[in-house]
């Protein structure tokens, strides 16, 4: 029941269960005195998992044709599966290869507004938007987190960046920073919100990692663990 059909297309059930077990152990290690509160309602928050792009909007594309939207969805579905296992209240902006609006006529502006409206309609929402980056130079790589213009968003962004560096690439020197005003999603929500650029599709080595199911699971664990850490700090 807790492993959905959608998740099976991206990860084997045993792998997801094992990942969740590692997540639980890591949480208890970080919060040994808060075990009861960790496995619970997470301070009343609802995590909104946003898989960026989708449908006709594939986002960035790697040199071998891998679409950012597919990577984002794979990570988001893994996050949802972990949330199910952990009893975390959560929603998703999309669960398949469609835009948030799932309409025949696509507008990037309208799609982003719909995602923001969804976040604003959820009581005590925390938004994590999953994306991948790109750059003209193939040498550029590394996860990077941007946060909305609230103290809570900054707190979530900083700890998520630290966790992604620690787990994915300890040589990554990128730092979390505030999202630019023109980034419609983060500038249109009132809840704590971050946009996690998990890697560069334009870097061939990193693109191969992003296509790997185990690496996608590692990213999902890191993002969910960061959300739990943030929620516990709000208690």
pLDDT classification of 24: cutoffs 50, 70, 90: low
**Domain with 77 in it: what CATH number?**
3.40.630.40
Count Cβ atoms below 10 Å from residue 190 Cβ, excluding itself. 11
Query: pLDDT tens, 170-203?
Result: 999 999 999 999 999 999 999 999 999 999 999 9
pLDDT at 6 over 50: no
User: How many structural domains is the chain composed of?
Assistant: 1
pLDDT, mean of residues 130-149: 98
pLDDT at 10 over 70: no
pLDDT at 95 over 90: yes
| Distance, CA of 62 to chain centre | 19
Is the full-model pTM beyond 0.75? yes
Strands (E), the chain: 46-51, 90-92, 125-133, 144-147, 177-178, 193-200
Are 161 and 142 contacting, i.e. CB atoms less than 8 angstroms apart?
no
Domain that holds residue 70: 5-233
């Amino acid at each position: 029941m807790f492993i959905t059909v959608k998740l099976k297309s991206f990860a084997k059930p045993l792998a997801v269960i094992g990942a969740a077990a590692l997540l639980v152990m890591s949480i208890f290690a970080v919060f040994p005195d808060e075990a009861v509160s960790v496995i619970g309602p997470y301070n009343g928050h609802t995590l909104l998992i946003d898989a960026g792009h989708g449908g006709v909007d594939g986002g960035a594309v790697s040199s071998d044709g891998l679409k950012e939207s597919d990577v984002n969805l794979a990570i988001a579905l893994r996050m949802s599966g972990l949330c199910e296992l952990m009893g975390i209240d959560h929603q998703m902006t999309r669960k398949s290869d469609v835009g948030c609006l799932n309409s025949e006529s696509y507008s990037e502006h309208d799609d982003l507004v719909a995602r923001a409206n969804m976040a604003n309609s959820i009581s005590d929402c925390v938004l994590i938007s999953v994306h991948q980056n790109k750059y003209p130079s193939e040498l550029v790589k590394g996860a990077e987190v941007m946060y909305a213009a609230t103290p809570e968003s900054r707190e979530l962004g900083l700890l998520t960046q630290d966790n992604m560096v620690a787990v994915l690439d300890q040589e990554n020197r990128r730092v979390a920073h505030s999202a630019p005003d023109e980034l419609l999603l983060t500038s249109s929500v009132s809840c704590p919100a971050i946009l996690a650029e998990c890697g560069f599709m334009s870097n061939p080595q990193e693109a191969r990692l992003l296509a790997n199911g185990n690496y996608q699971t590692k990213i999902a664990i890191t993002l969910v663990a960061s959300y739990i850490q943030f929620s516990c700090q709000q208690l």
